[in-house]
Amino acid sequence: MSISQIARSIVESPTLRLNEEARLLREKGEPVIHLGIGEPKNKAPIAAILSSAAKLVSGDVKYTPTDGLPSLKKAILRYTEENYDRVVAPENVIVSDGAKQCLFNLLYTLCNPQDEVIVLAPYWVSYPEIVKMVGAVPVVVRPEDGSFVPRWSDVERVVSSSTKALILNSPNNPSGAIYPAAFVEEAVQFCERKGIWLIADDIYHKLVFDGKTAPPACRYSDRDPEATKVILVNGVAKLYGMTGFRIGWIVAPRKLVEVMTNVQAQTTSCVSPVLQAAAEGALTGMQGIVESLRLTMQNNRDVLMNELKTFTGVRVAKPEGTFYALPDFRAFGNDSVAISRTLLQKARVVTVPGREFGMEGHLRLSFAGTVKDLTEGVARMKWALDAESPNEIYIGDRKMVRDWL
Ligand code: PMP
């Protein structure tokens, strides 16, 4: 079969593949614990449900303006002002099907073939693939010192005349690290000086712990909304636990929004008004839900850290935000795919191999699930990876058998 070169170069989304594997095992009655999944367990906010239900029962479900319903854009303007102290116009905003489509539209709009986009490791799995899909080249910068934040000088070293953009995701999926203010400031000032776009993926920006905040990139730009090189990507998926509603948005200079609107008009036309109404409900409804999710995640993070403390061989940096940790499992081998597979086969615990995030030897563990899953999941992992552990064991009320498969 003749398949395009670009499509052939795109790898499957490992997180979505693992979700599917876990679902199939669960369907067969297997006691799977899913520490791979990147979504909170909470139900969507009631304001979101009521608002989308009202739209649905009105029966008036038609195309909307390509760049989004004016009322949702108004809510986004307010959100941007309240959270970022940035006053922008409706023409600076475009709503898409999740932050993922935002990033695709954006990179499609910005990049010529062979342009380079700098991606900082550890990175969200989709960045390099989306960059490749638009014909551009991902240039990965890795921290040299075992930390999760590269030195800014190492980033500058890879900048070339082909560099079009840099993606910054803080707090970071998969490490949970917040990029320090000095790093963000240097990144913004450098990009604005050099005419490089800085894409701030802020999808987790309020899920931060211990009183910390993630310094937002736009804070360090003193340019007006039409001149800034900082582009803000955001959405309702993570903060409101609304992953299935597929609503994200971009705040950018209007010239860019205009072109992204053309791109979207020729692909999806617009986002479903039922889902846009849900996002509007979430943004304009009671915001306590975000704080309560943040507190739950902070507590889950603490539970996971406690469990990992007694996991001999595993080293972990405490996540400062998100709902992911990226512990170092190199004591059990350098092949994170093999370790992850062993854990699924022997202990029925889903983890995501660090290789997918540009951090071989690590595993990404999500703490978005329940405390019970975290404690039992880690107990099973310890049992499965310890060569000395007995062949059969009860963990909670579950009998575990080492040669399960
Ligand atoms: N950016 C990052 C860093 C993410 O982790 C995710 C989701 N896993 C997205 C973007 C995409 O979000 P959405 O579900 O809104 O497409």
Which stretches does DSSP call E strand in 49-187? 93-96, 116-120, 137-141, 163-169
pTM of this structure: 0.95
How far apart CA 404 and CA 397 sit, in angstroms, is: 17
Q: Is 346 in the pocket of ligand 1 (CB under 6 A)?
A: no
Does 404 have pLDDT greater than 60? no
Q: Which residues contact 187 (CB under 8 A, 6 or more apart)?
A: 152, 155, 166, 168, 179, 198, 217
How far apart CA 169 and CA 325 sit, in angstroms, is: 15
* pLDDT-wise least confident of 32-46, 168-182, 282-296: 32-46
How crowded is residue 369: how many other Cβ atoms within 10 Å of its Cβ? 20
Does 196 have pLDDT greater than 80? yes
Mutate to test the pocket of ligand 1, among 106, 131, 173 (most ligand atoms within 8 A of CB): 173
Q: Is 201 in the pocket of ligand 1 (CB under 6 A)?
A: yes
- The whole-number pLDDT of residue 376 equals 93
> Using 50, 70 and 90 to split pLDDT, how confident is the model at 405?
very low
Q: Which atom of ligand 1 is nearest to the CA of 236?
A: 15
Q: Is 13 in the pocket of ligand 1 (CB under 6 A)?
A: no
Q: Which helix (H) or strand (E) holds 107?
A: helix 98-110
Does 398 have pLDDT greater than 90? no
User: Cα of 103 to ligand 1 centre, how many Å?
Assistant: 9
Mutate to test the pocket of ligand 1, among 100, 129, 233, 234 (most ligand atoms within 8 A of CB): 100
Q: Is 173 in the pocket of ligand 1 (CB under 6 A)?
A: yes
